[in-house]
Chains A and B, each alone.
Chain A
Amino acid sequence: MSSLISHLITQGIPQETLSYLLLTPLLATLIAFLRQIVGIKSLGVYYPLLLTFSFLGLGIERGLIAYLLIVVLANLITCLIKKIPLLYLPRLTIVVSITTIGLISLIYLFNFLGYSFELAQALPIIIILSLSDKLVSVQIKKNFKSTLIIVLSALATAVAGFYLMNIEWLKLTVLQYPLSFLLIVLIINISLGRFRGLRVSELWRFRHLLKLPPKD
Protein backbone atom coordinates (compact mmCIF):
# COMPACT_ATOMS: atom_id res chain seq x y z
CA MET A 1 0.00 0.00 0.00
CA SER A 2 1.23 3.47 -0.86
CA SER A 3 2.71 5.37 2.09
CA LEU A 4 0.37 8.30 1.49
CA ILE A 5 -2.65 6.01 1.62
CA SER A 6 -1.49 4.20 4.76
CA HIS A 7 -0.93 7.57 6.40
CA LEU A 8 -4.48 8.62 5.53
CA ILE A 9 -5.83 5.34 6.87
CA THR A 10 -3.97 5.75 10.16
CA GLN A 11 -5.50 9.22 10.36
CA GLY A 12 -8.89 7.49 10.54
CA ILE A 13 -10.22 7.62 6.97
CA PRO A 14 -11.89 4.27 6.19
CA GLN A 15 -10.16 2.17 3.52
CA GLU A 16 -13.47 1.59 1.69
CA THR A 17 -14.10 5.33 1.43
CA LEU A 18 -10.61 5.92 0.06
CA SER A 19 -10.87 3.28 -2.63
CA TYR A 20 -14.33 4.52 -3.68
CA LEU A 21 -13.02 8.07 -3.88
CA LEU A 22 -10.00 7.04 -5.92
CA LEU A 23 -12.14 4.89 -8.21
CA THR A 24 -14.55 7.75 -8.94
CA PRO A 25 -12.32 9.18 -11.73
CA LEU A 26 -12.30 5.71 -13.29
CA LEU A 27 -16.09 5.60 -13.07
CA ALA A 28 -16.26 8.99 -14.78
CA THR A 29 -13.86 7.65 -17.42
CA LEU A 30 -16.17 4.70 -18.03
CA ILE A 31 -19.05 7.12 -18.57
CA ALA A 32 -16.92 9.22 -20.97
CA PHE A 33 -15.89 6.06 -22.81
CA LEU A 34 -19.49 4.92 -23.19
CA ARG A 35 -20.35 8.36 -24.55
CA GLN A 36 -17.45 9.00 -26.95
CA ILE A 37 -16.72 5.47 -28.17
CA VAL A 38 -19.96 3.57 -27.77
CA GLY A 39 -22.35 6.50 -28.13
CA ILE A 40 -24.54 5.98 -25.06
CA LYS A 41 -25.98 9.29 -23.93
CA SER A 42 -26.98 9.39 -20.30
CA LEU A 43 -27.42 13.03 -19.27
CA GLY A 44 -23.79 13.94 -18.75
CA VAL A 45 -21.38 12.53 -16.17
CA TYR A 46 -23.16 13.69 -13.07
CA TYR A 47 -26.39 11.76 -13.54
CA PRO A 48 -25.02 8.22 -14.09
CA LEU A 49 -22.32 8.86 -11.47
CA LEU A 50 -24.86 9.63 -8.75
CA LEU A 51 -27.04 6.75 -9.91
CA THR A 52 -24.09 4.37 -9.59
CA PHE A 53 -23.41 5.56 -6.06
CA SER A 54 -27.08 5.10 -5.17
CA PHE A 55 -26.83 1.53 -6.47
CA LEU A 56 -23.70 1.02 -4.39
CA GLY A 57 -25.57 2.30 -1.34
CA LEU A 58 -28.71 0.23 -1.88
CA GLY A 59 -27.27 -2.88 -3.49
CA ILE A 60 -27.96 -3.69 -7.12
CA GLU A 61 -31.39 -5.35 -6.73
CA ARG A 62 -32.99 -2.77 -4.50
CA GLY A 63 -31.29 -0.06 -6.47
CA LEU A 64 -32.84 -1.29 -9.72
CA ILE A 65 -36.27 -1.62 -8.16
CA ALA A 66 -36.11 1.84 -6.62
CA TYR A 67 -34.90 3.42 -9.85
CA LEU A 68 -37.53 1.79 -12.03
CA LEU A 69 -40.35 2.54 -9.56
CA ILE A 70 -39.34 6.17 -9.33
CA VAL A 71 -38.92 6.59 -13.07
CA VAL A 72 -42.30 5.03 -13.83
CA LEU A 73 -44.07 7.04 -11.13
CA ALA A 74 -42.44 10.33 -12.09
CA ASN A 75 -43.25 9.94 -15.76
CA LEU A 76 -46.78 8.81 -15.05
CA ILE A 77 -47.41 11.86 -12.92
CA THR A 78 -45.85 14.14 -15.53
CA CYS A 79 -48.31 12.77 -18.08
CA LEU A 80 -51.24 13.13 -15.69
CA ILE A 81 -50.63 16.80 -14.98
CA LYS A 82 -49.54 17.65 -18.50
CA LYS A 83 -52.82 19.38 -19.34
CA ILE A 84 -52.81 21.71 -16.33
CA PRO A 85 -51.15 24.99 -17.29
CA LEU A 86 -48.31 25.40 -14.82
CA LEU A 87 -44.94 27.03 -14.87
CA TYR A 88 -42.01 24.78 -15.29
CA LEU A 89 -40.29 24.65 -11.89
CA PRO A 90 -43.46 24.33 -9.77
CA ARG A 91 -44.51 21.58 -12.19
CA LEU A 92 -41.27 19.70 -11.56
CA THR A 93 -41.62 20.14 -7.82
CA ILE A 94 -45.17 18.79 -7.88
CA VAL A 95 -43.98 15.74 -9.83
CA VAL A 96 -41.18 15.04 -7.37
CA SER A 97 -43.50 15.49 -4.37
CA ILE A 98 -46.18 13.15 -5.66
CA THR A 99 -43.52 10.63 -6.66
CA THR A 100 -42.17 10.65 -3.10
CA ILE A 101 -45.61 10.02 -1.64
CA GLY A 102 -46.23 7.34 -4.26
CA LEU A 103 -42.96 5.62 -3.45
CA ILE A 104 -43.65 5.58 0.28
CA SER A 105 -47.12 4.12 -0.27
CA LEU A 106 -45.73 1.47 -2.60
CA ILE A 107 -43.11 0.41 -0.07
CA TYR A 108 -45.79 0.26 2.59
CA LEU A 109 -48.07 -1.75 0.31
CA PHE A 110 -45.35 -4.25 -0.50
CA ASN A 111 -44.52 -4.72 3.19
CA PHE A 112 -48.21 -5.01 4.05
CA LEU A 113 -48.60 -7.75 1.45
CA GLY A 114 -45.81 -9.65 3.09
CA TYR A 115 -42.93 -9.00 0.70
CA SER A 116 -39.94 -7.90 2.66
CA PHE A 117 -39.17 -4.78 0.76
CA GLU A 118 -37.51 -2.22 2.91
CA LEU A 119 -35.31 0.21 1.06
CA ALA A 120 -33.34 0.90 4.19
CA GLN A 121 -31.07 3.78 3.29
CA ALA A 122 -32.78 7.11 2.83
CA LEU A 123 -29.95 9.00 1.15
CA PRO A 124 -29.54 6.89 -2.00
CA ILE A 125 -33.32 6.94 -2.54
CA ILE A 126 -33.42 10.70 -2.12
CA ILE A 127 -30.62 10.95 -4.68
CA ILE A 128 -32.59 8.87 -7.19
CA LEU A 129 -35.70 10.93 -6.46
CA SER A 130 -33.92 14.20 -7.11
CA LEU A 131 -32.41 12.74 -10.27
CA SER A 132 -35.92 12.05 -11.56
CA ASP A 133 -36.36 15.82 -11.96
CA LYS A 134 -33.80 15.74 -14.75
CA LEU A 135 -35.67 12.95 -16.53
CA VAL A 136 -38.98 14.73 -16.18
CA SER A 137 -37.44 17.81 -17.75
CA VAL A 138 -36.40 15.67 -20.71
CA GLN A 139 -39.92 14.38 -20.99
CA ILE A 140 -41.41 17.87 -20.88
CA LYS A 141 -38.99 19.31 -23.42
CA LYS A 142 -38.66 16.36 -25.76
CA ASN A 143 -40.82 13.25 -25.92
CA PHE A 144 -41.51 9.84 -24.44
CA LYS A 145 -39.13 7.99 -26.73
CA SER A 146 -36.10 10.14 -25.87
CA THR A 147 -36.97 9.77 -22.19
CA LEU A 148 -37.14 6.00 -22.46
CA ILE A 149 -33.79 5.87 -24.28
CA ILE A 150 -32.16 8.04 -21.63
CA VAL A 151 -33.70 6.04 -18.76
CA LEU A 152 -32.32 2.82 -20.23
CA SER A 153 -28.90 4.28 -21.14
CA ALA A 154 -28.46 5.76 -17.69
CA LEU A 155 -29.48 2.43 -16.21
CA ALA A 156 -27.02 0.48 -18.35
CA THR A 157 -24.23 2.92 -17.53
CA ALA A 158 -24.94 2.80 -13.82
CA VAL A 159 -25.09 -1.00 -13.78
CA ALA A 160 -21.75 -1.18 -15.60
CA GLY A 161 -20.40 1.37 -13.12
CA PHE A 162 -21.71 -0.65 -10.20
CA TYR A 163 -19.81 -3.75 -11.28
CA LEU A 164 -16.69 -1.72 -12.05
CA MET A 165 -16.69 -0.26 -8.54
CA ASN A 166 -17.02 -3.75 -7.07
CA ILE A 167 -13.94 -5.29 -8.65
CA GLU A 168 -11.93 -6.29 -5.58
CA TRP A 169 -8.43 -6.27 -7.08
CA LEU A 170 -9.09 -2.84 -8.55
CA LYS A 171 -10.03 -1.52 -5.13
CA LEU A 172 -6.73 -2.82 -3.75
CA THR A 173 -4.57 -1.74 -6.68
CA VAL A 174 -5.88 1.77 -6.51
CA LEU A 175 -4.75 1.98 -2.88
CA GLN A 176 -1.35 0.56 -3.76
CA TYR A 177 -0.55 2.86 -6.68
CA PRO A 178 -2.88 5.86 -6.39
CA LEU A 179 -0.74 8.29 -8.38
CA SER A 180 0.08 6.05 -11.33
CA PHE A 181 -3.58 5.08 -11.37
CA LEU A 182 -4.68 8.70 -11.68
CA LEU A 183 -2.04 9.29 -14.34
CA ILE A 184 -3.39 6.41 -16.43
CA VAL A 185 -6.93 7.75 -16.05
CA LEU A 186 -5.69 11.13 -17.24
CA ILE A 187 -3.98 9.66 -20.29
CA ILE A 188 -7.07 7.63 -21.21
CA ASN A 189 -9.21 10.75 -21.00
CA ILE A 190 -6.86 12.82 -23.13
CA SER A 191 -7.02 10.19 -25.86
CA LEU A 192 -10.81 9.95 -25.47
CA GLY A 193 -10.96 13.72 -25.79
CA ARG A 194 -9.13 13.57 -29.10
CA PHE A 195 -10.88 10.60 -30.61
CA ARG A 196 -12.22 11.58 -34.02
CA GLY A 197 -13.57 8.22 -35.12
CA LEU A 198 -17.17 7.13 -35.40
CA ARG A 199 -18.99 5.94 -32.30
CA VAL A 200 -20.36 2.39 -32.23
CA SER A 201 -23.88 3.85 -32.41
CA GLU A 202 -22.85 5.78 -35.52
CA LEU A 203 -21.46 2.62 -37.14
CA TRP A 204 -25.02 1.34 -36.91
CA ARG A 205 -26.62 4.62 -37.94
CA PHE A 206 -24.40 4.95 -41.00
CA ARG A 207 -24.21 1.23 -41.79
CA HIS A 208 -25.50 1.68 -45.33
CA LEU A 209 -23.12 4.55 -46.03
CA LEU A 210 -20.24 2.42 -44.77
CA LYS A 211 -21.07 -0.19 -47.41
CA LEU A 212 -21.16 2.28 -50.30
CA PRO A 213 -19.01 1.08 -53.16
CA PRO A 214 -16.02 3.29 -54.01
CA LYS A 215 -16.53 5.83 -56.80
CA ASP A 216 -14.61 5.63 -60.12
Chain B
Amino acid sequence: MTMSIYRRRTTPASTALQAQQDKEDLERIFPLLSNYIQEVLVESLINPNGWTIPPNWLPPATDPASTPLPGLDKRTDLVIQYRDESSLFVNPGHVLHRGAFRRQTLDEDTNILRVVNAAASLLVAAACQPATPGNSGLDPDTWYYCYYDLTVATTYPGIVVCPTPPTREEGYGPELEAEGDGLMRYAGAFRTGPAGDAEILPYHRNEDGQFLWRERRLGPYLWQNPEDNLVSVATGGWVEVDLSEFVPPTATAVFLTAVAWDNNSLQIRAKGDTGANSGFDWRARDGGDSWGIG
Protein backbone atom coordinates (compact mmCIF):
# COMPACT_ATOMS: atom_id res chain seq x y z
CA MET B 1 0.00 0.00 0.00
CA THR B 2 1.24 3.48 -0.81
CA MET B 3 0.28 6.20 1.58
CA SER B 4 0.71 9.88 0.91
CA ILE B 5 0.83 12.57 3.58
CA TYR B 6 -0.52 15.94 2.59
CA ARG B 7 0.35 18.79 4.83
CA ARG B 8 -1.22 22.18 5.13
CA ARG B 9 0.29 24.80 2.90
CA THR B 10 2.60 26.88 5.01
CA THR B 11 3.58 30.30 3.78
CA PRO B 12 5.01 33.31 5.58
CA ALA B 13 1.45 34.61 5.92
CA SER B 14 0.22 31.45 7.66
CA THR B 15 3.45 30.26 9.26
CA ALA B 16 3.81 28.97 12.73
CA LEU B 17 0.30 28.27 13.88
CA GLN B 18 -0.63 25.98 11.01
CA ALA B 19 2.77 24.37 11.06
CA GLN B 20 2.23 23.50 14.69
CA GLN B 21 -1.21 22.08 13.84
CA ASP B 22 0.38 20.03 11.07
CA LYS B 23 2.95 18.69 13.46
CA GLU B 24 0.44 17.76 16.15
CA ASP B 25 -1.93 16.12 13.66
CA LEU B 26 0.75 14.04 12.04
CA GLU B 27 2.36 13.00 15.30
CA ARG B 28 -0.99 11.88 16.61
CA ILE B 29 -1.59 9.74 13.54
CA PHE B 30 1.95 8.47 13.17
CA PRO B 31 3.62 8.62 16.59
CA LEU B 32 6.40 6.27 15.55
CA LEU B 33 7.31 8.54 12.65
CA SER B 34 7.67 11.74 14.61
CA ASN B 35 11.25 12.23 13.56
CA TYR B 36 10.30 11.95 9.93
CA ILE B 37 7.41 14.32 10.42
CA GLN B 38 9.78 16.86 11.88
CA GLU B 39 11.71 16.76 8.62
CA VAL B 40 8.56 17.27 6.61
CA LEU B 41 7.74 20.35 8.62
CA VAL B 42 11.23 21.76 8.30
CA GLU B 43 11.02 21.53 4.56
CA SER B 44 7.55 22.99 4.49
CA LEU B 45 8.52 26.27 6.08
CA ILE B 46 9.87 28.25 3.21
CA ASN B 47 10.05 32.01 3.28
CA PRO B 48 9.91 34.31 0.22
CA ASN B 49 13.66 34.18 -0.21
CA GLY B 50 13.60 30.44 -0.59
CA TRP B 51 15.45 29.69 2.61
CA THR B 52 14.27 27.05 5.02
CA ILE B 53 13.43 28.15 8.54
CA PRO B 54 13.48 25.49 11.30
CA PRO B 55 10.09 25.48 13.05
CA ASN B 56 11.64 25.88 16.48
CA TRP B 57 12.76 29.36 15.45
CA LEU B 58 9.15 30.40 15.00
CA PRO B 59 7.41 31.69 18.14
CA PRO B 60 3.71 30.92 18.51
CA ALA B 61 2.56 34.26 17.13
CA THR B 62 -1.14 34.41 16.28
CA ASP B 63 -0.75 37.58 14.24
CA PRO B 64 2.54 37.36 12.37
CA ALA B 65 1.77 40.49 10.39
CA SER B 66 1.90 42.76 13.40
CA THR B 67 3.53 40.84 16.22
CA PRO B 68 7.30 41.17 16.60
CA LEU B 69 9.03 37.82 16.43
CA PRO B 70 12.16 38.25 18.50
CA GLY B 71 13.22 34.68 17.92
CA LEU B 72 13.87 35.48 14.29
CA ASP B 73 15.08 38.98 14.76
CA LYS B 74 18.73 38.39 15.39
CA ARG B 75 22.01 37.91 13.63
CA THR B 76 24.55 35.17 13.88
CA ASP B 77 28.22 35.35 13.05
CA LEU B 78 27.78 38.38 10.83
CA VAL B 79 30.32 41.14 11.53
CA ILE B 80 31.22 44.17 9.44
CA GLN B 81 34.97 44.69 9.65
CA TYR B 82 37.44 47.37 8.66
CA ARG B 83 39.23 46.49 5.41
CA ASP B 84 40.98 49.70 4.40
CA GLU B 85 40.43 53.45 4.53
CA SER B 86 37.49 53.33 2.15
CA SER B 87 36.00 49.86 2.42
CA LEU B 88 34.66 47.28 4.84
CA PHE B 89 34.32 43.53 4.54
CA VAL B 90 31.72 41.08 5.78
CA ASN B 91 32.36 37.49 6.79
CA PRO B 92 29.82 34.74 6.11
CA GLY B 93 26.87 34.60 8.48
CA HIS B 94 23.15 35.12 8.71
CA VAL B 95 20.61 37.86 9.20
CA LEU B 96 17.28 36.58 10.43
CA HIS B 97 13.98 38.31 10.50
CA ARG B 98 10.36 37.34 10.18
CA GLY B 99 9.73 36.64 6.51
CA ALA B 100 13.28 37.44 5.49
CA PHE B 101 16.24 35.20 6.10
CA ARG B 102 19.40 36.36 4.38
CA ARG B 103 22.59 34.42 4.35
CA GLN B 104 25.81 36.32 3.83
CA THR B 105 28.05 33.93 1.96
CA LEU B 106 31.35 34.36 0.20
CA ASP B 107 31.40 36.90 -2.57
CA GLU B 108 29.79 35.42 -5.68
CA ASP B 109 32.45 36.64 -8.07
CA THR B 110 35.67 36.20 -6.19
CA ASN B 111 34.89 33.61 -3.50
CA ILE B 112 36.48 35.87 -0.95
CA LEU B 113 34.94 37.83 1.89
CA ARG B 114 32.41 40.30 0.61
CA VAL B 115 33.81 43.80 0.24
CA VAL B 116 31.63 46.87 0.82
CA ASN B 117 32.63 50.30 -0.47
CA ALA B 118 31.55 52.60 2.34
CA ALA B 119 31.00 55.75 0.26
CA ALA B 120 29.05 53.84 -2.40
CA SER B 121 26.88 52.33 0.33
CA LEU B 122 26.07 55.70 1.85
CA LEU B 123 22.35 56.20 2.22
CA VAL B 124 21.45 59.78 1.36
CA ALA B 125 17.79 60.28 2.08
CA ALA B 126 15.54 62.60 4.00
CA ALA B 127 15.90 60.59 7.18
CA CYS B 128 19.62 60.15 6.76
CA GLN B 129 21.33 63.34 5.65
CA PRO B 130 25.11 63.71 5.57
CA ALA B 131 26.60 66.59 7.51
CA THR B 132 27.72 68.15 4.26
CA PRO B 133 24.69 68.49 1.97
CA GLY B 134 25.32 66.97 -1.40
CA ASN B 135 28.41 65.18 -0.18
CA SER B 136 28.57 61.82 -1.89
CA GLY B 137 31.53 60.66 0.16
CA LEU B 138 32.16 60.23 3.86
CA ASP B 139 32.26 63.30 6.08
CA PRO B 140 35.34 63.71 8.30
CA ASP B 141 35.32 63.13 12.07
CA THR B 142 31.95 61.45 11.92
CA TRP B 143 30.41 58.33 13.38
CA TYR B 144 28.70 56.24 10.71
CA TYR B 145 26.29 53.43 11.39
CA CYS B 146 25.97 50.29 9.28
CA TYR B 147 22.64 48.59 8.65
CA TYR B 148 21.66 45.35 6.98
CA ASP B 149 19.11 46.09 4.28
CA LEU B 150 16.83 43.06 3.96
CA THR B 151 14.67 44.61 1.24
CA VAL B 152 17.17 44.00 -1.55
CA ALA B 153 16.51 41.35 -4.18
CA THR B 154 19.81 39.58 -3.66
CA THR B 155 19.94 36.50 -1.47
CA TYR B 156 22.45 38.18 0.80
CA PRO B 157 21.64 41.33 2.80
CA GLY B 158 22.48 44.75 1.49
CA ILE B 159 24.80 46.95 3.56
CA VAL B 160 23.78 50.57 4.10
CA VAL B 161 26.00 53.21 5.69
CA CYS B 162 24.25 56.17 7.31
CA PRO B 163 25.13 58.96 9.76
CA THR B 164 21.84 58.39 11.58
CA PRO B 165 22.28 56.19 14.69
CA PRO B 166 19.87 53.38 15.59
CA THR B 167 17.04 54.13 17.98
CA ARG B 168 16.31 50.77 19.60
CA GLU B 169 18.22 50.33 22.81
CA GLU B 170 18.21 46.55 22.74
CA GLY B 171 20.15 46.58 19.47
CA TYR B 172 17.56 44.53 17.58
CA GLY B 173 14.49 45.48 15.64
CA PRO B 174 13.58 47.72 12.71
CA GLU B 175 15.70 50.81 12.12
CA LEU B 176 15.45 53.60 9.55
CA GLU B 177 11.85 52.52 9.08
CA ALA B 178 11.07 55.36 6.69
CA GLU B 179 13.74 54.06 4.32
CA GLY B 180 13.77 50.33 4.69
CA ASP B 181 10.12 49.33 5.03
CA GLY B 182 10.88 47.99 8.49
CA LEU B 183 13.63 45.72 7.22
CA MET B 184 16.77 47.62 8.20
CA ARG B 185 18.81 46.09 11.00
CA TYR B 186 21.63 47.77 12.90
CA ALA B 187 25.05 46.22 12.30
CA GLY B 188 27.57 48.45 14.09
CA ALA B 189 29.38 51.79 13.95
CA PHE B 190 32.65 53.04 12.49
CA ARG B 191 34.32 56.46 12.53
CA THR B 192 36.08 58.56 9.92
CA GLY B 193 39.31 60.46 10.34
CA PRO B 194 39.91 64.24 10.35
CA ALA B 195 39.08 66.66 7.56
CA GLY B 196 40.98 66.23 4.36
CA ASP B 197 40.87 62.49 4.05
CA ALA B 198 37.64 61.29 5.68
CA GLU B 199 38.95 57.74 5.76
CA ILE B 200 37.66 54.93 7.91
CA LEU B 201 39.68 54.57 11.12
CA PRO B 202 41.00 51.02 11.59
CA TYR B 203 39.18 48.77 14.02
CA HIS B 204 38.37 45.15 14.75
CA ARG B 205 34.94 43.99 15.80
CA ASN B 206 34.16 40.73 17.58
CA GLU B 207 30.98 38.74 17.15
CA ASP B 208 29.69 39.81 20.56
CA GLY B 209 29.66 43.50 19.63
CA GLN B 210 33.08 44.35 21.05
CA PHE B 211 34.83 47.03 19.02
CA LEU B 212 38.61 47.42 19.42
CA TRP B 213 40.58 50.31 17.97
CA ARG B 214 43.65 49.45 15.95
CA GLU B 215 45.03 52.98 16.07
CA ARG B 216 48.34 52.99 17.91
CA ARG B 217 47.74 56.50 19.19
CA LEU B 218 44.95 55.09 21.29
CA GLY B 219 47.13 52.44 22.88
CA PRO B 220 49.50 52.76 25.84
CA TYR B 221 52.74 52.87 23.85
CA LEU B 222 52.87 56.57 23.05
CA TRP B 223 52.42 57.71 26.59
CA GLN B 224 55.81 59.38 26.39
CA ASN B 225 54.30 61.93 24.02
CA PRO B 226 52.29 64.08 26.43
CA GLU B 227 50.64 65.95 23.60
CA ASP B 228 48.94 62.72 22.63
CA ASN B 229 47.73 61.98 26.12
CA LEU B 230 44.09 62.41 26.77
CA VAL B 231 45.01 63.80 30.18
CA SER B 232 48.47 65.17 31.04
CA VAL B 233 47.99 67.44 34.03
CA ALA B 234 46.75 66.95 37.57
CA THR B 235 43.05 67.42 37.56
CA GLY B 236 42.64 68.85 41.06
CA GLY B 237 39.56 66.74 41.63
CA TRP B 238 36.97 65.03 39.52
CA VAL B 239 36.79 66.36 35.98
CA GLU B 240 34.68 65.37 33.03
CA VAL B 241 36.31 63.69 30.07
CA ASP B 242 34.51 63.62 26.75
CA LEU B 243 35.17 60.35 24.94
CA SER B 244 32.69 60.90 22.13
CA GLU B 245 35.49 61.00 19.56
CA PHE B 246 36.35 57.42 20.50
CA VAL B 247 33.03 56.01 21.67
CA PRO B 248 29.75 56.22 19.73
CA PRO B 249 26.45 56.97 21.47
CA THR B 250 25.40 53.38 20.81
CA ALA B 251 28.05 52.00 23.17
CA THR B 252 27.04 50.20 26.34
CA ALA B 253 30.55 50.00 27.77
CA VAL B 254 33.95 51.55 27.14
CA PHE B 255 37.36 49.88 27.54
CA LEU B 256 40.20 52.09 28.80
CA THR B 257 43.89 51.81 29.47
CA ALA B 258 45.98 54.11 31.60
CA VAL B 259 49.75 54.39 31.93
CA ALA B 260 51.39 56.00 34.95
CA TRP B 261 54.56 55.72 37.02
CA ASP B 262 55.92 55.60 40.55
CA ASN B 263 52.88 54.80 42.56
CA ASN B 264 50.84 57.35 40.65
CA SER B 265 47.14 56.66 40.64
CA LEU B 266 44.11 57.52 38.61
CA GLN B 267 40.46 57.20 39.46
CA ILE B 268 37.82 56.70 36.80
CA ARG B 269 34.08 56.53 37.09
CA ALA B 270 31.00 56.85 34.94
CA LYS B 271 29.72 60.40 34.89
CA GLY B 272 27.68 61.10 37.98
CA ASP B 273 28.36 57.66 39.47
CA THR B 274 29.20 59.02 42.90
CA GLY B 275 27.94 56.16 45.04
CA ALA B 276 30.07 54.12 47.40
CA ASN B 277 32.39 51.57 45.76
CA SER B 278 31.76 53.03 42.32
CA GLY B 279 34.35 53.53 39.60
CA PHE B 280 37.91 52.23 39.34
CA ASP B 281 41.16 53.13 41.07
CA TRP B 282 44.35 52.42 39.16
CA ARG B 283 47.73 52.66 40.84
CA ALA B 284 51.15 52.14 39.24
CA ARG B 285 53.93 50.20 40.96
CA ASP B 286 56.88 52.01 42.53
CA GLY B 287 59.64 52.58 40.01
CA GLY B 288 57.78 51.17 37.07
CA ASP B 289 54.99 51.64 34.63
CA SER B 290 51.76 49.80 34.72
CA TRP B 291 48.60 49.72 32.79
CA GLY B 292 45.16 48.30 33.17
CA ILE B 293 41.93 47.79 31.38
CA GLY B 294 38.65 48.59 33.03
Say whether A and B bind each other: no
Q: Show the binding face of B for A, using Cβ within 8 Å.
A: none
